Structure 1
């Protein structure tokens, strides 16, 4: 009788199988189909692949269920067959493994390295559904593979542990940065997963043997569990319409004893590997005698690997211009929004920026294509404002328009230009703007983009790689208090603060009583709030904002006062109402966020003058 899986890897190096997807691709099955559906439609094909690996020397097979979860299968209309596909996958692998082989139920990452808009509860649900189906066929263990961030792997592992005590192999996809996508070092990641109940932790995909060797080297002396290794066959190349991998079977054979010497107890292959690669691994490990893993000094002593040598000192950080967060602790501080133009003429915009500087604005904030309407880049205008007027730019960064690559690139550009105040926003859906056929990206939620910007401040890229210097972003978050249940909105705000927000900017408020309620509801928060005040330009403007713009509500009194007013009369009454709101706002808050309507910057100038007169602040002649 064969030993159980835990005993097997304790005393031997187990040879795993190789790739399923890329091997099927080489056999002529096209990209773009569900390879997992073949468990039902062509089980003999899948069994033949499994047998080829067993014949090559593998003793541990993964079921063909990597993407057999509800989310992935739904893209092929197969969401109703999650259980059938997973159960069939284990049965097929079991037939191929025979009496002496082991079968683990394979579960892949659902996010797959993307910040998909899937909640934790959805991920738990999808993982639990797949795990339950796999367990019905009694595999020898579960393999959680190709996870880019520990957060998602933690959820999957917890889901397994709620349903089973079977052995669990957890595999991360990392590159030569030796960090996870959420910025954890490998010792940190291994420690968390060990505490969660992992039996084996290792690496697969994303890199070849050399990259995984470098990652594994960072763990020497810190290993507390056996390791599994499933490298790609090098980097894929696209030649004559086909993907090809260059790492030879012989090379895999040479690397297998190296991995075993470094503590690996399971060694197989991922993308691009074939039965020939597995045969070379098996031959190289024949007769290999394992030695006990070295005892670590202390599990609790696992700590962050210092990356300070990769980071440049923050030269002059303490002696530069105070941030808005610093200013607001000392006095009332005013941010003024001026929308970037919708055409190529920036003359009026720059004239407005200069007028606001002279009136004493502490920062000029620029939206990122608000309401999904195409406007000039706020990066370009922010730089021009800073260079030509000396006024601090505060730029909005929307999740809608850029994927993860573009978002980090955009932020790196801001850092290079010295633009360090940002407001992280979700962004209105593209279909409601002036180009409704364009795509809304939303790789990140507003919570995630705050956390990722904060990660840049730690000197860590979105990919988890260390950067050569730290960013210095001061990160704002948006808050809509114009809701029925203010307490629920504050709870959401607390999550943004927990993600790393340094200050808050609200949607415009048109009710003094609501301003007082906001102050009461947020008095426990320890970061500053800038209350949004937007003067109304006309009666039509008031009705449009109240009825058609998300997140804005006007009181009945304000709508009545603005009714029928247009032109100068409308703007004059709008400024009068805004001054009354400022009286309430400055009583409760040091932060004011003035929003300029329709480039009528003279309205914002009047409000700035009113604020400073009320506060008894005399501007330096330099402002004039």
Structure 2
């Protein structure tokens, strides 16, 4: 007979299972349906997933009931099937795995980071209905997962404690920060939830191991309440209409030990993870003996302190007059080395740090400041007004990214017409990271068009023709860049895809960051036949942790063993210094072959981009 789950977590580490929804998607099941309904319609499919995780070493199995509440099921007309779906989920899990496994009822957040018109009373009713069904089905405990707000977590926990004395696990979604979406410090939230009856507290979803590790490192353990950790398999990419995750099982194995050393006693996986990830963690933790000493809370890292916003008033100096319009980037890069620097817009309403960094980049004489369009699906200030401010106040050419993800055809044309009206004529077309993995996971990814189609439609505006085919009375003059990821197994196939973007009308190319001198050579040889300029991308690394994150969790980025070795053990100023030095060496290789240089500013350390821009000018004598 297995021990009580609380006792098992006091005595060692319990391995949980991995993703259900994304794993079903990888197996070929369609999106846009209720996977929870499969408990009734396709029970054999769900049972097989449970069996695979159990065989991989998972001894805590979640029921397939994450969204099986009245509010979520009503989208599919299933609001009257809450009890049947939840109880079937328990029965399937019980029958699929051995008696030594704990079956816990999965209960997902209803608000899911959105300020929906769902009252506390509605939450109480929905959670109560679902939890009663799960408990009647015979679960060994409840798992409250992917919560963003302390308020909602507290409501769900209160309902659970009213209904049962069984173990209750509570997990927030984090991007590596220290506070919940409703402003509570995680440390305070954990202490409050422990006092309200939570048995285990931790994190799942929204980020991969790196983000959760950064958050966990800042927390002090709460007496008698172990941590739980269920990371995503890194950040997803969206290629050819399909989601894909990059983090490999061996990376999860490496981080499993780190999590356990920080006090995690329940470890599993969330979006993108598979039985292979769970097997790797299970193997890594075989024979693991928990540390007896409590892990002390960590001070904020040097990177976090340095990245704190610098507030400068809007009237500290008069805005400079706009400079004369320079030739286009296409014309410049044909004549000399040309530097584009990416500088992210704010996540909040304070533009001080952004304008400060933009001014420093202007003084370094960058040719253009490029601004992402809510990169990684994280909400930021619109790049349209920020591009206007950069142009009008500083006289620097903005290059705005525009993602297929956020706007339908109507919104995209409207956005471009607005850009034309204020003289912003350079843009980079990207697909955009999927919304469900950003800071508002309940939002929709639009994808009305592919990046190829968007390029063609923008060039159609240059002919004075709207997306609908109607005349626009004037012609736009957009110069369109396309993205290129050279960090792939088959570079030739990536170049073939790139050629199609050029056929669609792309005027120049901007690559993902490159960290290997040999790859720079290969990119040059593979693209020198193209009739458009290439801006080769660089993003300096700031620390060993940053290198690990980039290599394992960010789609489209691969670091060489040599680069990772040089960053080993480095952080703070020493890490940033080495990151700049590595990038300078890569620039030495790239500049004889590419006139276009694209520098991506890491973690708002704009001084690193300033140093590298000046290095380019020093090298070419400008």
**TM-score (norm: length of structure 1):** 0.49
